[in-house]
């Protein structure tokens, strides 16, 4: 384990998790890199969401779009930043599923990212959806996604020094005290 700081920010849809993570990082680090895992598509509504997300951050954020390999960004850009904010791990898992990776391949990528975060010389904050509080998905792909997302959150929580659950915009520390 590294002595570096790592935080996982979990929450449901529209819980305020991204806003919390962005504000927390911006208040503490002057050189910050946002690692966006959302893949650009022809979906106009999603393009608008991406634009609004980008506009919510001040111009002093460096944004790197990396839908498949956020670890590559952590390894190659440590000298350019004081902290990484990866948003979001759940979309990253979706991207890996859409690229038809097997569960074993996805689990391997998650393990590598968890190890990379734990060993990073630069602090890392990650955002993920807590998907285990809802209904059991009807379709096999939905259950597969839910299982992989939940397993991913467990692996990342174990690798992080801090874990925070956001509900109704309020942070609830689950691991470590909020600095």
Across 136-152, average pLDDT: 94
pLDDT band at 1 (very low <50, low <70, confident <90, very high): very low
Listed residue (127, 111, 122, 121) closest to 159, CA to CA = 111
pLDDT band at 2 (very low <50, low <70, confident <90, very high): very low
Quick: pLDDT tens for 94-108. 999 999 999 999 999
pLDDT cut 90: percent of the chain above it: 78
The per-residue pLDDT of the chain, averaged, comes to 91
> What pLDDT, on a 0 to 100 scale, did the predictor assign at position 70?
98
* Cβ within 8 Å of residue 21, ≥6 positions away: 7, 9, 85, 87, 125, 127
Residues marked active site are found at 53
> What pLDDT, on a 0 to 100 scale, did the predictor assign at position 132?
81
Longest dimension (CA), the chain: 45
Q: Which residue has the higher pLDDT, 121 or 44?
A: 121
Which domains, ranges and CATH numbers included, belong to the chain?
6-175 (3.40.50.300)
pLDDT band at 57 (very low <50, low <70, confident <90, very high): low
Across 53-72, average pLDDT: 85
């Amino acid at each position: 384990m590294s002595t570096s700081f790592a935080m996982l920010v979990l929450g449901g849809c529209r819980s305020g998790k991204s806003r919390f993570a962005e504000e927390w990082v911006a208040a503490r680090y002057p050189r910050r890199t946002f690692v966006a895992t959302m893949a650009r598509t022809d979906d106009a509504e999603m393009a608008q969401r991406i634009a609004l997300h980008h506009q919510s951050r001040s111009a002093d954020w460096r944004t790197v779009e990396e839908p498949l390999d956020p670890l590559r960004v952590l390894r190659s850009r440590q000298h350019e930043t004081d902290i990484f904010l990866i948003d979001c791990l759940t979309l990253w898992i979706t991207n890996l599923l859409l690229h038809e990776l097997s569960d074993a391949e996805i689990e391997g990528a998650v393990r590598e990212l968890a190890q990379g975060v734990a060993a990073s010389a630069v602090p890392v904050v990650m955002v993920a959806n807590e998907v285990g509080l809802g209904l059991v998905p009807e379709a096999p792909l939905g259950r597969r996604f839910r299982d992989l997302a939940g397993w991913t959150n467990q692996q990342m929580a174990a690798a992080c020094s801090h874990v925070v659950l956001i509900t109704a915009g309020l942070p609830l520390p689950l691991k470590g005290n909020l600095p």
